[in-house]
Every structure is written in C-alpha cells, then in structure tokens.
A and B are shown apart, each in its own frame.
Chain A
Amino acid sequence: GIQVEQSPPDLILQEGANSTLRCNFSDSVNNLQWFHQNPWGQLINLFYIPSGTKQNGRLSATTVATERYSLLYISSSQTTDSGVYFCAVVYTGGFKTIFGAGTRLFVKA
C-alpha cells in the first residue's frame, strides 16, 4: 500500500538547537502539507509544499518530488515548538489524504 514515513519518531532538543524532520512517501503526490499539532490538538498549517522550498521565519521546508521526500527545518528551537509534527500527502490521481505517523518534538528550556 501507499506509505508515508516520518523520521525521527521522537526528538528532544535543547532550546536554541536546530533540527531536521523528514517525510518519505512512496508515490508521486499532488499535495504535501506540514502541520504542527499543539498540546490542545489544533493542527496548525506550517507549509503547503508539494515541491520546491519555502521559508517562514525560523522554519523552512523543502520537497524533492522526484525523489519522494520532504524535509522540515526548525532553527533556533523554542519551547513553544514542542508538539507533534505531521506531514500529510494526497497522491496523484487519488483523493485520500494520508498522514505520516508524526515526529514528537520536545524542546527543553
């Protein structure tokens, strides 16, 4: 079946550190989004990035569609970055959104 894999599953950082989260997908995609789920359950849109590179403040993302992966970079991490980061894809020709299992991030003060 279609696979979306995220790594690492868990990550603990000291405040101020940088990190890279990865999302691999097994087929070509129309949609790829990165979300941050806060402790209250709200999914916050970070990037809509089926291909290319985008930056928003301390966060940036790159999707290499031909190689079927996306990376989320977090620089100078803050305690408020803690939570779960999900990538979600819709495969070309399909309609179903599939989420990866997520990366659980904890940033220590």
Chain B
Amino acid sequence: DTEVTQTPKHLVMGMTNKKSLKCEQHMGHRAMYWYKQKAKKPPELMFVYSYEKLSINESVPSRFSPECPNSSLLNLHLHALQPEDSALYLCASSQGLAGGGGSYEQYFGPGTRLTVT
C-alpha cells in the first residue's frame, strides 16, 4: 500500500479562523513533508519531519504551524491566514529523509485545496 491520505479535500476559511489540515500514512515511513502549490506553479517545500522531529522549515510564516503527533500522522495548523495563502497543500512521505546521503522515493497525498476569504 503506497497511500497517503489527506483531510479535508477542500477547506474555505476566513482570515480570523483556526483550522487544521491532516495527513496520514501507514507505510512505516519515517519522513513526512508539507508542500504548498499555487495555481500553475510547481510544489514548494514548507516543512520536513524526520523521525517525528522537525528537520527543515523553509522560512514559513508562523501562521502555519506543523505538528507530528506520531510517525503516521502529520498536521498543519492554520491561524490568521491571508488570501494569498490560498493554494493546494500537499503532504508526502518517504521511507527515510530524502537527501543527506539517503535516497528515498516520496509519495504524495491528494492534497487539500484551501481558500482563504
């Protein structure tokens, strides 16, 4: 099974709301990733977790707060977002941390399409 699941599929939120995106994998992968994709652009890395610890934060604003409660779950907490944060948010996982001497294939979830009003 190479499935990564994400919920919800779609989310509309106001600028004062707090919401969370969820990602789950049951492949035993130890690295998990959040990406942001704007329309007609490639995905851009936001955060990387390795063995449940935050390894990479690509200078993402603090209104995005990641959390890795266990090795299978990854959350992205959203607060006080701006309309320009509207995008497709993609979660991915890999067996190990891609790079740094490791070579690991990443598997992506279907994404959450977020609209901030």
Binding site for B on A (CB under 8 A): 30-31, 33, 35, 40-43, 45, 48, 50, 86, 88, 90-102
What residues on B are CB-neighbors of A35 within 8 Å?
108
Residue of A whose beta carbon sits closest to that of B58: A96
A19 to chain B, nearest CB (A): 20
B103 and A41 within 8 A (CB): no
Q: Considering the complex of A and B, which 6 residue pairs feature the smallest CB-CB distances, nearest first?
A: A99-B42, A48-B105, A43-B108, A90-B99, A95-B99, A90-B98
Supplied contacts A41-B90, A97-B99, 7 more A-B pairs, CB within 8 Å: A30-B99, A30-B101, A45-B106, A88-B43, A93-B100, A96-B56, A98-B45
Residue of B whose beta carbon sits closest to that of A32: B103
What residues on B are CB-neighbors of A96 within 8 Å?
45, 56, 58, 99
Query: When A30-B102, A31-B99, A100-B42 are in contact, do A95 and B108 touch as well, CB less than 8 Å?
Result: no
B113 and A41 within 8 A (CB): yes
B58 to chain A, nearest CB (A): 7
Contact with A along B2-42 (1 / 0, CB 8 A): 10000000000000000000000000000001000100011
The total of chain B residues at the interface (CB under 8 A) is 29
Query: When A30-B102, A41-B110, A86-B42 are in contact, do A95 and B97 touch as well, CB less than 8 Å?
Result: yes
What residues on B are CB-neighbors of A42 within 8 Å?
108, 110-111
A95 and B48 within 8 A (CB): yes
Most chain A CB inside 10 Å of its own CB: which residue of B2, B42, B100, B110: B42
B53 to chain A, nearest CB (A): 13
What residues on B are CB-neighbors of A48 within 8 Å?
105
Query: When A42-B110, A43-B108 are in contact, do A31 and B98 touch as well, CB less than 8 Å?
Result: yes
Residue of B whose beta carbon sits closest to that of A96: B45
Q: How far is the CA of A95 from the CA of B97 in the complex (A)?
A: 7
